[in-house]
Structure formats: C-alpha cells, structure tokens
C-alpha cells in the first residue's frame, strides 16, 4: 500500500487543466486528494489532481495534455470497485466521471438506452422499468456503481445465469482513446459484422485502453412475474447436484445463489432468520416469467428437484413481500461477514458449474491448512463464487497467510478450468496471477494491444498486467 | 480513550463499499466524493493518521457541509456510526474555535444556544414578541417598508413560521384518555413545538387521548438539546438532558411521546450523550428506552382509525431524523392510509433531506436551496394538496419554500391531519 503524501504537479499543468474544466472541476485540496485515493478495496494511493469532466471533448483535452507531460491518468466511476481498478496507483490525474450522469435517451422503438458513464446502474434500471423495459445486469453494488465502471470491469451479478453480463448488453460505445481521439464503435442495431468487434474490447479492459464517454445499452422486455424459492441441503455436493439437474431439465432460473455452512452461521449470528445451523448449503432461486401459471409450475418444478436431491427444507414465496423476505438472508451476507472480523478479502473466482463441489471442497481444505475462516457464497448457477477471507490487517502474520491462501484459491480455480475473476476484474489485486491464468503468449498479446492504443502508457498504468510486485 | 482524535474503531468499520453515496444529499447535489460520507470518513481517518489537521479549512468546511441527516447510516451494511463521528468532530472543532471566535459569532451562539434554547422564559418571551410582531401589523409594515432588506434580515424573517397561540406550558393540565385508559404517557412538549407550533402539541395530546392514552405534560422540561449536539455544544446538550431526565422522572409514565423527529432522535440518544456520567448514565438509559415518536407509538400500541371521511390528497416527506436516525418509515404512512377518504400520493426521493437541518440553511444556503427545490418539485409533481411531515425544521423550510414559489400546497404535521379527521368524526 502506498502511503506517501501527494506531491504536486508542475503549476503550468494545473493551470492548463483549469483551462479545460474550470476551477470548480479541478480539485487539488488535500481533502479532495484523500477522497479520491481509494475504491472499495483497502488499497489507497492519492492522485495529484482530481478532474471532473462533463464531456468527451473535455476528456480528450485532458488526455492530450497528459500525453504531452507524460502524466498518469486513472479513470474512476463511483469508486465501488473490488479490485483496485480505479485507484490512482501512479498518482497523477484521477479522472472522475460522476458528473457525466445523464440518461440521454430511452429509445423504446429500438429497445436501447443511451447513457453517460456516471449513471448509477440502479437509476438506469428504475428509469427503463418505468416504460416496461429491463436492464438485467445486477452487480451487488448496483445502487452505488456507475455504468462506466460496470463496463470497465465487465460487471455481472446474480441474474447473469439467465440474462448474461454487462458485455452482453453493450451495443455501442463512444470512447476517448488514450491519445485523445474520439471514436464511435457499434450502433443501435442488433447485428454488426463490420470489422473487429472493438466495442467489446473496451468492456472489461479496466480503463486501460480508453475512456468510455457514452454508452448504448440493449434493453429487453421486463418480466411481469417473479418468485423466490429457498432450499437447504445437507452438503454443498447435494446442492450442487440439484443445480445441475435443474439446468439439465430445461429450467432456467434468473439466478441461483449459494451460501455454504460457514456463511449460513455468520448470517444467523448477525440477524437470526431461522436458517438451520447444520445445513451444509443453502440455495436461493429467483424465477421470473411473463406468465404467472408458467412461473408457478416452473418454481414448483425447481422445488421438486431440490427435494429429490435431498433438500432438508424448501420454501417457496407466496407473494412479492415473501420474495423479499427470502432474499434477506442473502442480503445479510456482506454485513454479517463484515462484522465478524475487522477485514475481509473477497475473491471472485469463476469455474464451470460442474466443478463447484470440488471447488468448495478445495477451499475448505485451504481454509483449514492456513487456519483462516473462509465462508463461501456466490452465484452457483454460473459457477462464480466469492470465497471471503476474514482477517485482521493489523496482524502481519495473518496477512501472510491470507496472501498465500488467496494464491492457492486462484490456482485451484485455474486448475478446475476456471479463471481468476468472474465479475470484479483484475485491477491491482490479482495482476500477479495473470501469467498463470492466461499464459505468457496471451498476456504478451494484451500488452501489445495496450501499447498500440496507449503508446505513452498514461492510462490506468500498473493495473491488469503483472509488474512483479504485489500492491496489497 | 485512544490517542486518536476520532474513534478509530468506527472509522475502520467502513469498508468503503460506497452504498452511502447515492443516499447522501450533499453528494447528490455536488457529485464529488469529498462531499460524501465515505469521503468524510476518509478525511477523519487522515486526521487520525496526522496527514490532515482537524482545523484545516477544508476539513472544517466538510464537517459542516454535512447535514447530519444520517441517511447514510440507515443504508450502511457495516453499521458505521457516522453521525457520532461528525458530531464528535464538531464538538472538537467548536472547542478549538471558541478561542478565536469573533464577538459577533460568540454573541449569536451565546444568545441562541445558551440563551433562547436554554432558558424557557427567554424563548417564550421571544416567541411572544414574534406573535405580537405578526398580529400587530408590524410584520406587514416591516415587509412593505423594505427595512428588513436594509438590515439584511429578509432571508431570516422569511423563515419565521406562523406563531400559534396559546402556547403549551410544561406542568399544564394534560389530556384525559377517552374510553378505557391504555397507558399513561408524558408529552415532550419541546421548545418550538410548545410555542410557535403549539397547535401541533395540542393536536398530539388530543390524538393520543382519543387513542386511550392519558397525557401529562411534565413541568420543568425544556429543549431537548439536539441543536446543541449538532452545533458542537455537547456540554450544553448534556445539561439539558439531565434537566429533562429529572423532569420526566417526576411523572413515572410508561412512554415519553415526542412529535418532532429531530428531538426524538436526540432523546433516544441521551444514553449515548451521558454514558460517561456515572450519576446519570443509568437514568439516561431508562429515559431513552421510553421515548417514542407519536406515529411510532400509535402504530405500535394499536390505533383506532377515524371514521369520518377526509377528502384529501396528501404526499409525505420523511424527516431525516425520523426515517434515518429512528428508522421510522412505515408507521406514518400506515396512519395516513388509515384515514377514510385520504389518498396518499408518494413523491420521488421522499427521504432525501429537505435542506433544513437546524441552522444549515443559514450556513450553506446554496446546497440547502437546491435541496428544498428538489423536495418541493417532487412534492408538487404528485399534485397533492397537502405536504405531510413530522418535524418543525422541515415544516419551516418547506413552508418558506412554498411561499417563495407562490404555491398553495399546505404543510401539515401527521397529527394535525389525524386530529382534523377525529374532530370531524366528533362533529358528525
């Protein structure tokens, strides 16, 4: 962690920046620099100046200036990321896109929304739902995260099982390239077979290839009916069998969420909801449909398969308010874990669904070997799990064990045919494992792409690629 | 206590998830992280680490830019006690600042915190003077003549609410339960509520009596001290808390009922305010446990809906200290919806602060005006005739804003609407 005090940039750079965004949107006070030094990880590194642009033209001017003076630039949405992707690791300019938060258009004829990167995901969802449309990606941070950040990290969420991740909804992008040119890639149409699919290259690029300044997102019809079911199982294995059988039977829940025994116990301790403390696993199903009868019979089919697979209890919500009650246990996970120990390191590995039991077994073994509590929860339907290492950062020996255990978990996921990150991105936290995850050839190709876009390496440096030193 | 300026444990509870951002009025208005709860916590963390000084201009201005509305606390998954941090910061800033306050600021603070809101007779005399000012034609003259603008008092004068009369007096005769008596309760009459808004206090007494409570108004009680807490005058607040606890011990009722959200939040935190005082800490806990907001009490103990039809469209704006500090959101709505004929039309962002926040509108007028504008535009968009709230600060702010906009929408306290319905029922 970098804890040095912010240095200042040459005065003429500040003057030039003020000429672009004005004094009010050029922040240099020590308080401002501290407030832009972090995201939702524990990594901190202050910028030397914070710029709040309001247009692609302003972003372009800032990037041209940064190239001229070789100043690092770190783009930032709401700062709710979980991989350090927006932390200004190299100082320089924090480019905060929060003031570009307009929903420019909801085009019902073409079922798309055109938005600026600072729009909060939840605000967009509320706005499109008013006209009967649906933007499904639902990262847990949807009430605070910005669409721009969702694109940078290719955010997912619980509903991705049925509806896919952020990249599945990106139709077109306006991007300011690191050297200042503004490009438009994609369009409102469904089909595009004209040249490289550049728009998807920017999704998940973590702000290393360009700054997205306008986004056209696909929308779909909003399902009319929803039902939730909750089932407890004696073991993760039996729960996992239920998941694969449900999927094989032709049912497609919007989401299937898993909590393991330790997570259940943490939640019960925090907010007793009558969950069985001896349950090996809990599955939470979200079902939706445009037809109530179909919804009810499909939900019942899911419940039946759970019972056949050895579920110790199955509860199906009778109405919307009960839907909400069943989700309470899942919503309580984060706060429950946060209160158990001073800190937690949340991982985000993703494996093929069939490898789930082996993954959970392996994590339990790692937890025991390093004597760390590691509750596991996440999106069982799509194989994306969040093992959380509960720890105390003030204890250096414990933190060494956390480092080692994290590395083992990454390797386990890769060995099972999975990957480092499903929806949080690599950022600073996982960059040292990129070689193991992707191999030298792929990482090298990515580096060449990066250099092509950003010859001076000004944009979001120190992220994504291994640098040989850990950032945490 | 640690060596740190601020409780590091509270600071470390923040995992920086950012969920608080969208609920924070100053962040919503400015869109700058520094003006957010997460930003302010990181600033106080930097003070603890010695990277910033508490008295740095930027630190002080952030601590006072916060409305202390505590919307962030209500959504925080980690349970960060942000309000305690900010109030503690203000206390420490005031202690240091007091040394070099200008005479004018000292005088204003002395008059307000240690005069008006400390001594009942002074406040009553002041309220009575304002009553005479309004009813004698002097107000008309002052406004027409332009003297207010000349004295730079126009903005403040505009906020002056319509003063009710007669005032409610601690120790006065209370209200006898109608029908079978369910509880004996004590009314916390308040300073502004017992004078300028005494109509609301009386309505509270009548509504409670109608619902089977015998209401006393214990003597010797006075201002709750919330204003002192928010302005960093902790010892003033503690003095008032002790006085009120002693006053309510005299009438040993099951509940203490309050109708002002800001005061209710403060009363429920007397236990925190006095937890270091061995003689008072236990008594403060007993006191705080008895405190209920009037809508909370009615919803909790069972309430008899009025039978008369009240043909009225109402929208409800949530006082921060009711919705966020006390987490009371469903009860007021339940009461309103129970009135036959009344139609509750929900507004957008009903729980985003209206910008009143004690004397905030005088200190940060730009943000306060933007917030009240948002609130009123959302309220007016519902087309409702009445804007219902439950706190005098909001009441004054909203009424003044509506007057500026020249709108006919009326601001009403929940109990005023209930009282109207019951009275109609009785007259039928």
User: SS3 string of chain B?
Assistant: CCCCCCCHHHHHHCCCCCCCHHHCHHHHHHCCHHHCHHHHHHHHHHHHHCCCCCCCHHHHHHHHHCCCCCHHHHHCCCCCCHHHHHHHHHHHHHHHHHHHCCHHHHHHHHHHHHHHCCCHHHHHHHHHHHHHHHHCCHHHHHHHHCHHHHCCCHHHHHHCCCCCCCCCCCCCCCECCCCCCCEEEEECCCCCCCCCCHHHHHHHHHHHHHCCEEEECCCCCCCCCHHHHHCCCHHHHHHHHHHHHHHHHHCCCCEEEECCHHHHHHHHCHHHHCCCCCCCHHHHHHHHHHEEEHHHHHHHHCCCCCCCCCCEEEEECCCHHHHCCCCCCHHHHHHHHCCCCEEECCCCCCCCCCCCCCCHHHHCHHHHHHHHHHHHHHHHHCCCCEEEECCHHHHHHHHHHHHHHCCCCEEEEHHHHHHHHHHHHHHC
Query: Do B18 and A5 make contact, defined as CB atoms within 8 angstroms?
Result: no
The alpha carbon of residue A29 is apart from the nearest alpha carbon of chain B, in Å, by 7
- In 3D, which of B132, B130, B44, B38 has the Cα closest to residue B87? B44
Query: Do B42 and A35 make contact, defined as CB atoms within 8 angstroms?
Result: yes
Q: Which of A91-105, A267-281, B31-45, B61-75 has the lowest mean pLDDT?
A: A267-281
The answer to whether residue A24 scores a pLDDT higher than 90 is yes
Greatest mean pLDDT among A105-119, A236-250, A376-390, B15-29 lies in: A105-119
Which residues of chain A make contact with B20, given a CB cutoff of 8 A? 144
Pick A31's closest partner by Cβ from B17, B58, B75: B58
Q: Which two tokens stand for residue A206?
A: 């973590």
Q: Does A456 touch chain B (CB under 8 A)?
A: no
Estimate the crossing angle of helix A396-415 against helix A356-369, to 10 degrees.
160
Q: Does A150 touch chain B (CB under 8 A)?
A: no
- Strands A343-346 and A384-391 come out as antiparallel
Residue A5: per-residue pLDDT: 38
Averaged pLDDT score across all residues of chain B: 92
Residue A6: per-residue pLDDT: 41
If contacts are CB pairs under 8 Å, which of residues 3-42 in chain A contact chain B?
5, 27, 29-32, 34-42
Of the pLDDT bands very low, low, confident and very high (cuts 50, 70, 90), residue A342 is confident
Q: Does A344 touch chain B (CB under 8 A)?
A: yes
What distance in Å separates the CA atoms of residue A106 and residue B320, rounded to the nearest whole number? 33
Query: Do B42 and A38 make contact, defined as CB atoms within 8 angstroms?
Result: yes
The answer to whether residue A116 scores a pLDDT higher than 60 is yes
Dump strand ranges (E) for A303-436.
313-316, 343-346, 376-379, 384-391
Of the pLDDT bands very low, low, confident and very high (cuts 50, 70, 90), residue B2 is very low
Query: Do B43 and A339 make contact, defined as CB atoms within 8 angstroms?
Result: no
Give the pTM: 0.89
Query: Do A32 and B34 make contact, defined as CB atoms within 8 angstroms?
Result: yes
Residue B1: per-residue pLDDT: 37
The alpha carbon of residue A198 is apart from the nearest alpha carbon of chain B, in Å, by 31
Q: Which residue has the higher pLDDT, A6 or A225?
A: A225
CB B240, CB B233: distance < 8 Å:
no
Q: Which two tokens stand for residue B215?
A: 């209401």
Mean pLDDT of A269-281: 87
Query: Do B77 and A338 make contact, defined as CB atoms within 8 angstroms?
Result: yes
ipTM of the complex: 0.93
Mean pLDDT of A441-459: 97
The answer to whether residue B256 scores a pLDDT higher than 60 is yes
What distance in Å separates the CA atoms of residue B165 and residue A317, rounded to the nearest whole number? 54
| Helical (H) or strand (E) element with A328 | helix A320-331
Residue A1: per-residue pLDDT: 33
pLDDT digits (tens, 9 = 90+) for A355-364: 998 999 999 9
What distance in Å separates the CA atoms of residue B68 and residue B83, rounded to the nearest whole number? 6
Of the pLDDT bands very low, low, confident and very high (cuts 50, 70, 90), residue A3 is very low
Pick B21's closest partner by Cβ from A38, A99, A144: A144
Per-residue exposure over A413-424, b if at least 16 CB sit within 10 Å of its own CB, e if not: bbebebbbbbbb
Cα-Cα-Cα-Cα torsion A229, A235, A237, A243, nearest 10 degrees, comes to 0
What distance in Å separates the CA atoms of residue B66 and residue B24, rounded to the nearest whole number? 9
Query: Do B42 and A29 make contact, defined as CB atoms within 8 angstroms?
Result: no
Secondary structure of A231-260 in HEC code, one letter for each residue: EEECCHHHHHHHHHHHHHCCCCCCEEEEEE
> Which candidate in B20, B33, B40 is best for mutational testing of the A interface (most A CBs within 10 A)?
B33
Which residues of chain B make contact with A22, given a CB cutoff of 8 A? none
> Which candidate in B7, B11, B14, B16 is best for mutational testing of the A interface (most A CBs within 10 A)?
B16
Query: Do A39 and B59 make contact, defined as CB atoms within 8 angstroms?
Result: no
Residues 6+ apart with CB under 8 A from A270: A332, A335, A336, A339, A340
pLDDT digits (tens, 9 = 90+) for A179-199: 999 999 999 999 999 999 999
Identify residues of B whose CB sits under 8 angstroms from chain A CBs.
12-13, 15-22, 31-34, 36, 38-39, 42-43, 46, 51-52, 56, 58-59, 62, 75, 77-79
Q: Does A52 touch chain B (CB under 8 A)?
A: yes
Which residues of chain A make contact with B28, given a CB cutoff of 8 A? none
Which residues of chain A make contact with B78, given a CB cutoff of 8 A? 335, 338-339
How does DSSP classify residue A428?
Answer: T
pLDDT digits (tens, 9 = 90+) for B26-57: 999 999 999 999 999 999 999 999 999 999 99
> Which candidate in A7, A31, A345 is best for mutational testing of the B interface (most B CBs within 10 A)?
A31
CB contacts < 8 A (A, B): 97
Query: Do B52 and A98 make contact, defined as CB atoms within 8 angstroms?
Result: no
Query: Do B18 and A80 make contact, defined as CB atoms within 8 angstroms?
Result: yes
The answer to whether residue B252 scores a pLDDT higher than 90 is no
Of the pLDDT bands very low, low, confident and very high (cuts 50, 70, 90), residue A472 is low
Query: Do B43 and A34 make contact, defined as CB atoms within 8 angstroms?
Result: yes
pLDDT digits (tens, 9 = 90+) for B211-243: 999 999 999 999 999 989 988 899 999 999 999
The answer to whether residue B156 scores a pLDDT higher than 80 is no
Q: Does A80 touch chain B (CB under 8 A)?
A: yes
Q: Cα separations (Å) of B252 from A36, B245, B255, B256?
A: 52, 11, 9, 10
Q: Kindly identify which residue of chain B lies nearest to residue A144, measuring between CA atoms.
A: B19
Q: What percent of chain B has pLDDT over 70?
A: 99
Q: Which residue has the higher pLDDT, A426 or B126?
A: A426
The answer to whether residue A2 scores a pLDDT higher than 90 is no
Mean pLDDT of B370-390: 96
The alpha carbon of residue B18 is apart from the nearest alpha carbon of chain A, in Å, by 6
Residue B145: per-residue pLDDT: 84
Query: Do B22 and A39 make contact, defined as CB atoms within 8 angstroms?
Result: no
Query: Do B77 and A334 make contact, defined as CB atoms within 8 angstroms?
Result: yes
Q: Does A45 touch chain B (CB under 8 A)?
A: no
Q: Kindly identify which residue of chain B lies nearest to residue A121, measuring between CA atoms.
A: B22
- What's CA B136's distance to the chain center, in Å? 30
Averaged pLDDT score across all residues of chain A: 94
Q: Which of A270-279, B77-86, B180-189 has the lowest mean pLDDT?
A: A270-279
Q: Which residue has the higher pLDDT, B289 or A322?
A: B289
Q: Which two tokens stand for residue A60?
A: 């372009």
Full DSSP string of A279-324: -SEEEEEEEEESSHHHHHHHHHHHHHHHHHTT-SEEEE-SSHHHHH
């Amino acid at each position: 962690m970098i804890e040095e005090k912010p240095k200042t940039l040459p005065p003429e750079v500040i003057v030039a920046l003020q000429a672009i965004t004005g004094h009010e949107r050029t922040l240099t006070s020590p308080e401002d620099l501290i407030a832009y030094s972090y995201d939702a990880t524990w990594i901190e590194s202050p910028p030397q100046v914070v710029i709040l642009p309001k247009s692609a033209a302003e972003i372009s001017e800032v990037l041209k200036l940064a190239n001229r003076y070789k100043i690092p630039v770190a783009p930032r949405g709401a700062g709710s990321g979980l991989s350090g992707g927006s932390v200004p690791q190299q100082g320089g300019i924090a480019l905060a896109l929060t003031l570009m938060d307009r929903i420019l258009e909801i085009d019902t004829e073409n079922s798309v929304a055109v938005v600026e990167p600072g729009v909060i995901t939840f605000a967009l969802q509320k706005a499109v739902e008013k006209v009967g449309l649906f933007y499904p990606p639902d990262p847990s941070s949807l009430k605070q995260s910005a669409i721009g950040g969702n694109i940078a990290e290719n955010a997912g969420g619980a509903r991705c099982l049925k509806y896919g991740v952020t990249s599945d909804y990106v139709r077109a992008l306006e991007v300011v390239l690191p050297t200042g040119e503004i490009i438009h890639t994609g369009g409102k149409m469904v089909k595009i077979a004209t040249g490289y699919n550049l728009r998807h290259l920017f999704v998940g690029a973590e702000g290393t290839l360009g700054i997205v300044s306008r986004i056209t997102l696909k929308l779909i019809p909003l399902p009319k009916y929803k039902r939730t079911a909750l089932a407890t199982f004696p073991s993760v294995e039996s729960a996992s069998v239920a998941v694969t059988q449900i999927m094989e039977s032709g049912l497609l829940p919007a989401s299937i969420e898993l909590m393991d025994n330790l997570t259940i116990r943490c939640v019960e301790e925090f907010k007793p909801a009558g969950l069985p403390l001896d349950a090996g696993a809990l599955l939470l199903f979200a079902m939706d449909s445009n037809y109530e009868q179909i919804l009810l019979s499909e939900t019942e089919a899911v419940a039946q398969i759970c019972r056949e697979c050895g579920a110790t209890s199955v509860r199906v919500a009778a109405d919307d308010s009960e839907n909400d009650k069943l989700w309470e246990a899942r919503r309580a996970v984060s706060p429950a874990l946060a209160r158990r120990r001073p800190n937690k390191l949340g991982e985000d590995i993703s494996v093929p669904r069939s490898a789930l039991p082996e993954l959970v077994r392996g994590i339990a073994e790692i937890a025991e070997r390093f004597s760390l509590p590691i509750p596991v929860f996440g999106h069982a339907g799509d194989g994306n799990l969040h093992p959380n290492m509960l720890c105390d950062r003030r204890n250096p020996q414990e933190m060494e064990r956390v480092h080692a255990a994290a590395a083992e978990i990454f390797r386990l996921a890769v060995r099972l045919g999975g990957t480092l990150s499903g929806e949080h991105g690599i950022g600073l936290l996982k960059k040292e494992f990129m070689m193991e995850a992707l191999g030298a050839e792929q990482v090298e190709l990515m580096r060449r792409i990066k250099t092509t876009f950003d010859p001076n390496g000004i944009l979001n440096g120190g992220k994504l690629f291994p640098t040989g030193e850990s950032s945490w | 206590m640690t060596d740190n300026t601020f409780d590091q444990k509270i600071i470390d509870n923040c995992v920086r998830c950012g969920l608080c951002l969208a609920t924070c009025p100053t962040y919503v208005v400015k869109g700058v992280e520094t003006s957010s709860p997460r930003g302010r916590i990181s600033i106080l963390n930097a003070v603890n680490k010695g990277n910033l000084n508490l008295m740095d201009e930027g630190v002080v201005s952030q601590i006072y830019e916060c409305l202390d509305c505590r919307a962030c606390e209500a959504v925080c998954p980690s349970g960060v006690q942000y309000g305690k941090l900010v109030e503690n910061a203000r206390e420490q800033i005031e202690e240091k600042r007091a040394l070099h306050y200008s005479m004018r600021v000292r005088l204003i603070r002395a008059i307000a915190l240690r005069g008006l809101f400390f001594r009942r007779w002074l406040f009553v005399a002041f309220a009575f003077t304002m009553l005479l000012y309004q009813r004698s034609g002097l107000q008309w003259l002052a406004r027409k003549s332009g003297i207010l603008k000349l004295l730079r008092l126009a903005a403040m004068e505009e906020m002056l609410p319509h003063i009710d009369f007669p005032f409610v007096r601690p120790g006065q005769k209370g209200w006898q339960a109608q029908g079978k008596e369910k509880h004996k309760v004590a009314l916390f009459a308040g300073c502004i509520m017992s004078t300028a808004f005494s109509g609301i206090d009386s309505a509270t007494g009548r509504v409670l009596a109608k619902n089977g409570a015998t209401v006393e108004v214990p003597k010797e009680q006075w201002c709750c001290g919330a204003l002192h807490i928010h302005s960093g005058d902790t010892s003033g607040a503690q003095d008032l808390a002790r006085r009120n606890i002693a006053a309510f011990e005299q009438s040993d009722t099951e509940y203490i009922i309050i109708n002002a959200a800001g005061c209710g939040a403060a009363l429920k935190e007397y236990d925190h305010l006095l937890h270091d005082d061995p003689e008072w800490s236990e008594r403060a806990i007993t006191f705080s446990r008895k405190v209920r907001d009037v809508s909370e009490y009615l919803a909790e103990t069972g309430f008899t809906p009025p039978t008369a039809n009240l043909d009225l469209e109402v929208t409800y704006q949530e006082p921060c200290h009711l919705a966020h500090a006390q987490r009371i959101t469903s009860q007021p709505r339940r009461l309103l919806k129970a009135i036959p004929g009344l139609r509750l039309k929900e507004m957008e962002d009903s729980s985003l602060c209206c910008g009143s926040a004690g004397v905030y509108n005088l200190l940060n007028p730009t943000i306060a005006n933007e917030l009240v504008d948002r609130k009123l535009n959302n309220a007016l968009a519902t087309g409702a005739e009445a804007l219902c709230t439950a706190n005098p600060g909001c009441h004054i702010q909203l009424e003044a804003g509506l007057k500026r906009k020249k709108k006919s929408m009326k601001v009403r306290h929940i109990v005023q609407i209930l009282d109207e319905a019951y009275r109609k029922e009785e007259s039928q």
